[in-house]
């Protein structure tokens, strides 16, 4: 907004800052003050001597539009703050919590906006919430999906469920992963509904459960789902990701023989043999650098957990490790695990008592690769370019719900506000500017996708 009065400008920005941090009951009065200032500015513009009426009219139009945009942004950040306040840690990390209450909020939001909405039961008390906006072409549908569950809060150095707005950022658990994206999708479809415009294709907005643990929300969603495209919100810094790594996790166990530590030769040390297996895995991983994907780089392997033994003066009878292997497109989880089984079949323990076992996969998550000529990629690239963002496709190393939708035959991309470097952190935050860009991108894509 272009101010004619310096005093009005200073007061307006003080009020705007106060609005963002105010409690809901105080926001209405602050909004009224901002509207009054905008009205005074338009009156000043009317009185200003202009060369022609067109210039005066253009200024007044810009002022009104600017004020509407400011209020829309405030509603967007308010909705994000409301989502953060509602505890929705995945119950796998805190059995006392679940997505129940946050999904009630999402349902109520869409009902209040007059948007068709329903629940899709995944677990008792843990439904997906799906909102629908009718399109001009009933045979085409685009799905906008964000998960509402969050990581745990242990070790956080900020109040996880008391959203704070500081230095252009919103802080709180889930701010980045992925309540910012969810808020932007909710407000985008709500704003589109209010405008009276019918999108070219039917639009779904989905708030999904259980992404942070077992992906059961998206697996339920994709049952019998027909859609031309899906946009999944994860923190990509508003870059369009058309590729992501998959993930394979499994456990390797070594069984030995216990003995007193003063006579270790009477036992078979499971930890020592596991150490040899870890070295074997490391040596075998050297070949992974030769498998390069243009957007994702190479696959990786990480031994993330190890446990063995019972006390220091006993030869350890057992030991296990948990392995995390990231996959690139072209790799199949079953084949990769089979290769590691074969590798360990060649492992020769120094003692016959040692038994090695490769357990079935605890997690198999396919990689994502969406062709550049898909409609959703082309439309998204144009939208990003129109709002001044980089339209080029990129890859991300983390998994998401997008790969599961892709496996169901739905061309999918990952696009959302925030950086993965802030996800799950002790002071999780998202840049407000990123949330606003997400809102703009989602809304334009909702309008134009066909």
Q: State the Cα–Cα distance between residues 347 and 273, nearest whole angstrom.
A: 10
Q: 131 falls in which pLDDT band (50, 70, 90)?
A: very high
Exposure pattern of 78-100 as b/e (b: 16+ CB <10 Å)? bbbbbbbebbbbbbeebeebbbb
- Would you state the pLDDT for residue 54? 43
Both tokens assigned to 190: 């709500």
* Residue range 165-173: mean pLDDT, rounded: 94
Helices (H), 6-52: 6-21, 24-47
Q: 20 falls in which pLDDT band (50, 70, 90)?
A: low
User: At residue 72, does pLDDT exceed 60?
Assistant: no
- Would you state the pLDDT for residue 28? 58
Q: Which residues contact 144 (CB under 8 A, 6 or more apart)?
A: 185, 188, 189, 203, 204, 205, 206, 230, 231, 233, 442, 446
CB 206 within 8 A of CB 221: yes
Q: State the Cα–Cα distance between residues 245 and 242, nearest whole angstrom.
A: 11
Q: State the Cα–Cα distance between residues 383 and 41, nearest whole angstrom.
A: 33
Both tokens assigned to 39: 């009205």
- Would you state the pLDDT for residue 43? 59
- Would you state the pLDDT for residue 31? 66
Q: What is the DSSP string of 374-387?
A: SHHHHHHHHHHHHT
pLDDT in tens, 225-253: 999 999 999 999 999 999 999 999 999 99
* More confident call, 17 vs 276: 276
* Residue range 174-186: mean pLDDT, rounded: 97
Q: 4 falls in which pLDDT band (50, 70, 90)?
A: low
User: At residue 169, does pLDDT exceed 90?
Assistant: yes
* Mean confidence (pLDDT) of the chain: 90
Polymer length of the chain: 450
For the chain, the straight-line distance linking the first and the last C-alpha, in angstroms and rounded, comes to 34
- Would you state the pLDDT for residue 50? 44
User: At residue 321, does pLDDT exceed 90?
Assistant: yes
Q: Which range (59-73, 135-149, 406-420) has the least confidence?
A: 59-73
Both tokens assigned to 370: 């969406």
Exposure pattern of 279-302 as b/e (b: 16+ CB <10 Å)? eebeeeeeebeeeebebbbebebe
Q: 32 falls in which pLDDT band (50, 70, 90)?
A: low
User: At residue 121, does pLDDT exceed 50?
Assistant: yes
CB 420 within 8 A of CB 185: no
* Residue range 60-77: mean pLDDT, rounded: 57
Q: 51 falls in which pLDDT band (50, 70, 90)?
A: very low
Q: 1 falls in which pLDDT band (50, 70, 90)?
A: low
User: At residue 449, does pLDDT exceed 90?
Assistant: yes
- Would you state the pLDDT for residue 316? 98
Q: What percent of the chain has pLDDT over 90?
A: 82
Q: State the Cα–Cα distance between residues 119 and 116, nearest whole angstrom.
A: 11
Q: State the Cα–Cα distance between residues 378 and 439, nearest whole angstrom.
A: 19
User: At residue 375, does pLDDT exceed 90?
Assistant: yes
Q: 263 falls in which pLDDT band (50, 70, 90)?
A: very high
Task: Centre a 10 Å sphere on the Cβ of residue 415 and count the other Cβ atoms it contains.
Answer: 27
Q: State the Cα–Cα distance between residues 95 and 84, nearest whole angstrom.
A: 19
Q: 74 falls in which pLDDT band (50, 70, 90)?
A: confident
Q: How far is CA 36 from CA 40, 64, 83, 336, in A?
A: 6, 12, 30, 65
Q: Within the chain, how many helices (H) and strands (E) appear?
A: 11, 17
**Centroid of chain to Cα 174:** 9
Q: What percent of the chain has pLDDT over 70?
A: 84
User: At residue 8, does pLDDT exceed 70?
Assistant: no
Q: State the Cα–Cα distance between residues 384 and 371, nearest whole angstrom.
A: 18
**What secondary structure letter does DSSP report for 399?**
-
pLDDT in tens, 323-374: 999 999 999 999 999 999 999 999 988 899 999 999 999 999 999 999 999 9
User: At residue 100, does pLDDT exceed 60?
Assistant: yes
- Would you state the pLDDT for residue 348? 87
Q: 438 falls in which pLDDT band (50, 70, 90)?
A: very high
């Amino acid at each position: 907004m272009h101010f004619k009065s310096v005093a009005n400008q200073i007061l307006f920005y003080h009020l705007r800052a106060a609005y963002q941090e105010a409690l809901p009951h105080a926001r209405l009065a602050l909004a009224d003050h901002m509207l009054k200032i905008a009205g005074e500015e338009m009156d000043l513009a009317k009185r200003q001597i202009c060369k022609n009426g067109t210039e005066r009219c253009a200024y007044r139009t810009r002022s009104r539009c600017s004020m509407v945009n400011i209020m829309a942004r405030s509603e967007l950040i308010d909705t994000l703050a409301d989502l953060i306040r509602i505890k929705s840690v995945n119950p796998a990390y805190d059995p006392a919590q679940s997505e129940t209450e946050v999904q009630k909020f999402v349902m109520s939001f869409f009902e209040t906006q007059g948007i068709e909405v329903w629940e899709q039961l995944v677990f008792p008390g843990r439904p997906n919430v799906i909102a629908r906006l009718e399109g001009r072409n009933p045979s085409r549908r685009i799905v906008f999906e964000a998960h509402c569950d969050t990581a745990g809060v242990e070790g956080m150095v900020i109040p996880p469920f008391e959203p704070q707005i500081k230095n252009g950022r919103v802080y709180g658990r889930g701010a980045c992963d992925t309540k910012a994206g969810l808020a932007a999708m909710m407000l985008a479809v709500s704003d589109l509904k209010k405008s009276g415009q019918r999108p070219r294709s039917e639009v779904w907005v989905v708030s999904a459960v259980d992404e942070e643990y077992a992906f059961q929300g998206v697996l339920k969603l994709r049952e019998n789902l027909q859609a031309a495209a899906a946009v999944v919100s994860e923190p990509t810094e508003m870059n369009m990701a058309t590729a992501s790594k998959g993930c394979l996790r499994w456990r390797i166990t070594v069984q030995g023989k216990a003995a007193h530590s003063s006579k270790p030769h009477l036992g078979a040390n499971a930890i020592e043999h596991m150490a040899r297996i870890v070295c074997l895995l490391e040596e075998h991983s050297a070949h992974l650098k030769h498998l390069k994907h243009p957007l994702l780089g190479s696959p990786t392997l990480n031994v993330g957990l190890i446990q063995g033994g019972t006390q220091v003066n006993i030869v350890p009878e057992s030991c296990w490790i948990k392995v995390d292997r990231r996959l690139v497109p072209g790799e199949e989880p079953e084949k990769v695990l089979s290769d590691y089984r074969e590798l360990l079949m060649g492992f020769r323990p120094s003692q016959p008592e040692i038994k090695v076992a490769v357990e079935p996969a605890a997690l198999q998550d396919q990689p994502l690769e969406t062709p550049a000529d898909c409609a959703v990629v082309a439309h998204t690239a144009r939208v990003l370019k129109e709002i001044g963002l980089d339209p080029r496709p990129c890859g991300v190393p983390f998994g998401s719900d997008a790969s599961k939708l892709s496996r169901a035959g739905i061309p999918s991309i990952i696009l959302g506000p925030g950086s993965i470097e802030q996800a799950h952190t002790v002071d999780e935050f998202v840049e407000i500017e990123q949330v606003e860009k997400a809102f703009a991108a989602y809304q334009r894509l909702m309008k134009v996708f066909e």
